Structure 1
Amino acid sequence: MLSITSNHPHTLLKNRYQQVRQISEQICQPLAIEDYTIQSMPDVSPPKWHLAHTTWFFETFVLLPHLPDYTVFHPQFGYLFNSYYEAVGARHPRHQRGMLSRPTVAEVYRYRASVDRAINELLSTSQDPALATLIDLGLHHEQQHQELLLMDIKHILASNPLRPIYRHDLAPHPATTARKIEWLKYPGGLYSIGHEGNEFSFDNESPHHQVYLQDYQLADRLVTNNEYLEFMTAGGYQNSKYWLAEGWATVQTQQWHAPLYWEQIDGQWWIMTLGGLDRLDMYAPVCHVSFYEADAYATWRCKRLPTEAEWEIATVNIPQLGNFFDSDFLHPIPVNHPHYQFFGDVWEWTQSAYLPYPGFQIADGAIGEYNGKFMCNQMVLRGGACVTSADHIRPTYRNFFPPSARWQFSGIRLASY
Structure 2
Amino acid sequence: MEAEILTQNLVKKYTEIRQHSVDICEPLEIEDYVVQPIIDVSPPKWHLGHTTWFFETFILIPNVPDYEVFDAQYNFVFNSYYETVGARVIRTDRGNLSRPSVSDVYQYRKYVDEKMQEFFQSNLMNDSIQSLMELGLNHEQQHQELLLTDIKYILGHNPLFPFYRKENSEQNKVKVQSEMISFPEGVYEIGFEGKGFCFDNELGRHKVYLNDFEISSQLVTNGEYLEFMRADGYSDFRHWQAEGWDWVKQNQAKSPLYWHFIDGKWMHYSLNGLREINPDEPLCHINFFEASAFASWKEMRLPTEAEWEVSSNHFDWGKRWEWTNSAYLPYPGFKKEAGAVGEYNGKFMVNQTVLRGASEATPKGHSRNTYRNFFPTNLQWQFTGIRLAK
TM-score normalised by the chain length of structure 2: 0.97
Match of 2:333 among 355, 359, 363: 359
CA 291–175 in structure 1, closer or farther in 2 if over 3 Å, else same: farther
Distance in 2, matches of 1:268 and 1:258, equals 13
Match of 2:292 among 295, 299, 320: 295
Determine the structure 2 residue equivalent to 1:197: 194
Determine the structure 2 residue equivalent to 1:335: none
Q: Tell me by how many angstroms 1:154 deviates.
A: 0.3
Q: Does the CA-based 8 Å contact 1:10-1:132 persist in structure 2?
A: no
Q: Tell me by how many angstroms 1:177 deviates.
A: 5.4
Q: Does the CA-based 8 Å contact 1:183-1:219 persist in structure 2?
A: yes
Determine the structure 2 residue equivalent to 1:18: 15
Distance in 2, matches of 1:188 and 1:358, equals 21
- Report Cα offsets for 1:325-375 as digits up to 9, x if no partner: xxxxxxxxxxxxx52x12x21100000000111111111100000000101
SS of 1:147 mapped into structure 2: helix
Distance in 2, matches of 1:265 and 1:34, equals 28
SS of 2:153 mapped into structure 1: helix
Distance in 1, matches of 2:3 and 2:16, equals 18
Determine the structure 2 residue equivalent to 1:373: 347
Determine the structure 2 residue equivalent to 1:413: 387
* Aligned partner letter, 2:186: G
Distance in 2, matches of 1:388 and 1:58, equals 21
Q: Tell me by how many angstroms 1:174 deviates.
A: 5.1
* Aligned partner letter, 2:337: A
Matched, 1:104 2:101: yes
Match of 1:120 among 117, 120, 123: 117
Determine the structure 2 residue equivalent to 1:163: 161
Matched, 1:270 2:244: no
CA 250–175 in structure 1, closer or farther in 2 if over 3 Å, else same: farther
SS of 1:390 mapped into structure 2: coil
SS of 2:365 mapped into structure 1: helix
Distance in 1, matches of 2:332 and 2:4, equals 41
Matches within 5 A, 1:15-414: 15-126=12-123, 127-169=125-167, 171-173=168-170, 175=172, 178-315=175-312, 318=313, 339=315, 341-342=316-317, 344-414=318-388
CA 134–8 in structure 1, closer or farther in 2 if over 3 Å, else same: same
Q: Tell me by how many angstroms 1:125 deviates.
A: 1.1
CA 175–375 in structure 1, closer or farther in 2 if over 3 Å, else same: farther
Q: Does the CA-based 8 Å contact 1:175-1:283 persist in structure 2?
A: no
Provide the aligned C-alpha RMSD in A. Answer: 1.4
* Aligned partner letter, 2:64: L
Q: Tell me by how many angstroms 1:129 deviates.
A: 2.6
SS of 1:190 mapped into structure 2: strand
CA 6–245 in structure 1, closer or farther in 2 if over 3 Å, else same: closer
Determine the structure 2 residue equivalent to 1:325: none
* Aligned partner letter, 2:161: R
- Report Cα offsets for 1:308-335 as digits up to 9, x if no partner: 00011113xx4xxxxxxxxxxxxxxxxx
Q: Does the CA-based 8 Å contact 1:174-1:281 persist in structure 2?
A: no
* Aligned partner letter, 2:177: K
Q: Tell me by how many angstroms 1:124 deviates.
A: 1.2
Distance in 2, matches of 1:375 and 1:6, equals 37
Q: Tell me by how many angstroms 1:132 deviates.
A: 1.5
SS of 2:249 mapped into structure 1: helix
Distance in 2, matches of 1:398 and 1:242, equals 27
Distance in 2, matches of 1:148 and 1:269, equals 26
| Alignment coverage as a number of residue pairs | 389
Distance in 2, matches of 1:178 and 1:93, equals 46
Distance in 2, matches of 1:352 and 1:51, equals 32
CA 242–174 in structure 1, closer or farther in 2 if over 3 Å, else same: farther
CA 131–6 in structure 1, closer or farther in 2 if over 3 Å, else same: closer
Distance in 1, matches of 2:40 and 2:387, equals 25
Q: Does the CA-based 8 Å contact 1:206-1:360 persist in structure 2?
A: yes
SS of 1:68 mapped into structure 2: coil
Q: Tell me by how many angstroms 1:187 deviates.
A: 1.4
Structure 1's consecutive aligned runs of 4 or more residues displaced over 4 angstroms after TM superposition are 174-177
Identity of aligned residues (%): 53
Uncovered stretches (5+) of structure 2, i.e. residues with no partner: none
Q: Tell me by how many angstroms 1:36 deviates.
A: 0.3
Q: Tell me by how many angstroms 1:8 deviates.
A: 5.0
| Segment drifting more, 197-206 vs 235-244 | 197-206
| Segment drifting more, 381-390 vs 123-132 | 123-132
Q: Tell me by how many angstroms 1:119 deviates.
A: 1.0
* Aligned partner letter, 1:355: L
